[in-house]
Structure 1
Amino acid sequence: MDFTAAVDAFAEHLLQVRRLSPATVRAYRSDLRDLGVSLRAPELTAVDLEALRDWLWHATQRGDARSTLARRAAAARSFFGWAHEQGLVAHDPSLRLMAPKRGRTLPVVASQDAMAALLEQQRVAASGGEPSALRDHAILETLYGAGIRVSELCGLDIDDVDLDRCTARVLGKGSKERVVPFGAPARNAIGAYLSRGRPVLTARATKSVPALFLGARGGRIGPRAVYELVAEVLAPYVGAETVGPHALRHTAATHLLDGGADLRAVQEILGHASLGTTQIYTHVSAERLTATYRLAHPRA
C-alpha cells in the first residue's frame, strides 16, 4: 500500500474504530499528508526514523509551535503503530521519535465580576425581544453556566435540554455522552429564547431542524458564528485581543474551583478523560490566591 492510501485508511480507522472526533482526525490527516509531501509520498517501508526526525526538524525551522510539533509526532507514532499492527510495515520507525513537550500556558479567564457585568449587559440587550439577542444571551449563559465546548453547544438539540432539572445532554470528544448541570440564569435565558426567539428564527428556515440554537437563516448555528459572538463581547472584559468560546469554559472551571468544587466533580462536568487536564485550573486559582496575598499581606 502506498503512503497516501495508508493515510486514508488510517483516518477511517480513527473515525470508525477509535471514534476520535472529526476535528482530531482532520488534524492527524493534515499532519500525515504534510509528512507525505516532505518525503515525496514514498512507500511505507521506505520511511525510517531519520526521515521522521528530518520532517520535524524542518517544521521547527518553519517556526511551528511546540504544541504543533508534539501533535505531529503523536500523529506519526499513532500512524506507524497502526501500520505495524496491520502488517503494512515490518518495523515501526516511530518508536524512538521524540518531540518537544507541549508548553503549558495558563488559559484566559474572566473574573466573576467581569462575567456578571457581561451577562447582565446581554440580559438587558435581550429584554427587547430581538430574536438574535435572545439567542446570544442564551448561548453565553449556557457556555459559562455548563462549561461545555463550542462543538457540544452547537450539537445540542431541543430534546437534549431539560429546563425542569437544569441539565443538558451533550456529546463530547470521542462520541462520549454526558449530562451537565446549569444554573437558573441559563435556564431562564434558554426558556426566553425558546418562547420568543427561536420561533422567529425557525420561520426563516427552508426546513425544520431539531437544533436548539439556530443561525440567522434558521439552520443549526455553527462554531464560527459562536466564536465571533464570544470574541466580540468577551474581549473587552479580559483585555485580550484574541479570545473565543473556550475562554468561557476555562472561566467556568476556574470559578467552580474557586467556589470550593471538588476537582473530580469539575473533571466530570468538563468531560475530561484525564484528571491532569483539569488540574491546570488549580494553577489559575493558585495564581489568583498569590496575587491577592501579595496585595493584602503586610509581609508579602
Structure 2
Amino acid sequence: MYHFKEYSEAFMEYLQIEKNASQYTVKYYLNDLETFYQFSKSEALEDFSDVDYRSVRVFLTSLYDRKLSRRTVSRVISSLRSFYRFLEREGNVTSNPFLQITLPKATKPIPGFLYQEELEKLFEVNDMSDPLGQRNQAILETFYATGIRVSECHKLTLKDIDFTIGTMLIHGKGSKERYVPFGRFAEIALETYLNEGRKTLLEKSKLSTDTVFLNAKGTPLTARGIRLILTKMVEKASLTVHVHPHKLRHTFATHMLNEGADLRTVQELLGHESLSSTQIYTHVTKDQLRSVYMKAHPRANN
C-alpha cells in the first residue's frame, strides 16, 4: 500500500488532536492498522481503495484463525472502521468496506464487587498511628467513596480536594474533568493523612510536590504502587478474593445502585460517556433482590 506510512501518521494526528485519544488508544489503533497492512500486502492489495467487502471477510477469517477473542476482533474491526471513516473524510477513498461488517456482541460479564463484610475487613487492617497506614487508609477510603480509576487516583493533587464542600476534582480520560463528592469517612482518613502521615513522608524527599499520595520515600506514588498497596492490604485482611482498584470502582457503583441511586447519577460520578457503560452495574445481589421484594410486594409478608 503506497501511502500507508503517510496515511497512518495523519490518522495518528487526527486521533491525538481532534479526538483527544489517550496514548493507549492511539497505540491500539495503530497496532490494528499495522495488522491490516500486513494482511493487505499478503493479499497483494496495492491501495486502501482496493479493499472491498470480500477482502474484509478474508481478513476477518484470518483474525479468527489466530484464535483471537471476539472482543479483540471487534476492537480491530472498530479501529479500521474509524480509519476508513477518516480516509473518506480526507477524500482518499470513496467508501468504507468495514461498515458492512457486523459482529455479534459478546456478552459483558458482570463486574466483580466486594460485599460489605469483605470491605469492613479491609478497612480494619491499617495502622492509623503509622504514616503509611494513614496513607493506605486514605487511598482505600478514596476509592470506595468516589469510585475513581487508579489512573485518576495517582494524579490527584492537593488543590483537587475541597474539604469545605466535600468534593474532589477528578481528571479523567481524554482530559475530561468531573466533580465527585466524598463522605465523612473519606474526609477523616484524608485529613489524618494530609495533616500527619503525608508531612512525615514528604520530609524524607524534601520535594515540593502537591501530589496527594506519596510512597515510602516521599515521592509521588505510581498507579502500579497503588495496586501493590491494595494487594498487601488484602493479604493482611486474609481475604480470599482478588482485589484491584477497578474492583473497588465496581463495588462503589454496585453499592450505590443497590441503595437506590439512579443510573444517570452513577454515570456522572463514574465519568462514563455512555449510559450503557454504567448499565453493567445494574445487577443486584440475591440478598438485595429478596429485601426489595419483601418490602415491595403486597403479599410477600403476612
> Could you tell me the TM-score, scaled by structure 2's length?
0.84
Percent identity of paired positions between Structure 1 and Structure 2: 36
Q: Which of 66, 74, 79 is the equivalent residue of 2:83?
A: 79
Asked if 2 retains the 8 angstrom alpha-carbon contact of 1:171 and 1:177, the reply is: yes
- Partner Cα distance (1:85, 1:105) in 2: 36
Match of 2:191 in 1: 191
Asked if 2 retains the 8 angstrom alpha-carbon contact of 1:70 and 1:102, the reply is: no
**Offset, 1:30:** 2.4
- Partner Cα distance (1:32, 1:238) in 2: 43
**Offset, 1:157:** 1.1
Comparing 89-98 and 253-262, the one that deviates more = 89-98
- Partner Cα distance (1:206, 1:13) in 2: 41
**Offset, 1:217:** 4.1
Asked if 2 retains the 8 angstrom alpha-carbon contact of 1:147 and 1:248, the reply is: yes
**Offset, 1:261:** 1.4
Matching residue's letter, 2:20: R
Asked if 1 retains the 8 angstrom alpha-carbon contact of 2:125 and 2:233, the reply is: no
- Per-residue Cα deviation, 1:87-124 (whole angstroms, up to 9, x for no partner): 122322212122331321000110012112211223xx
Query: The residue matched to 2:281 in structure 1 has which SS?
Result: helix
**Offset, 1:286:** 5.6
Aligned positions, number: 289
- Partner Cα distance (1:280, 1:237) in 2: 29
Please tell me the root mean square deviation across aligned C-alpha atoms, in Å.
2.7
Matching residue's letter, 1:19: N
Matching residue's letter, 2:21: L
Return 5+ residue gaps in structure 2 as ranges. 294-299
1:60 and 1:168, CA in 2 relative to 1: closer, same or farther beyond 3 A?
same
- Per-residue Cα deviation, 1:142-185 (whole angstroms, up to 9, x for no partner): 11110111111122111001123221001222322110011111
Larger Cα-atom Rg: 2
Matching residue's letter, 1:128: S
Matching residue's letter, 2:24: A
> Could you tell me the TM-score, scaled by structure 1's length?
0.85
Alignment of 1:227-266 (within 5 A): 227-234=227-234, 239-241=240-242, 243-266=243-266
Alignment of 1:68-217 (within 5 A): 68-122=72-126, 125=127, 127-129=128-130, 131-205=131-205, 207-217=207-217
1:287 and 1:10, CA in 2 relative to 1: closer, same or farther beyond 3 A?
farther
Query: The residue matched to 2:260 in structure 1 has which SS?
Result: coil
Matching residue's letter, 1:212: V
- Partner Cα distance (1:204, 1:5) in 2: 50
- Partner Cα distance (1:269, 1:27) in 2: 27
Matching residue's letter, 2:233: V
- Partner Cα distance (1:215, 1:36) in 2: 44
1:231 and 1:74, CA in 2 relative to 1: closer, same or farther beyond 3 A?
farther
Match of 1:16 in 2: 17
**Offset, 1:213:** 1.5
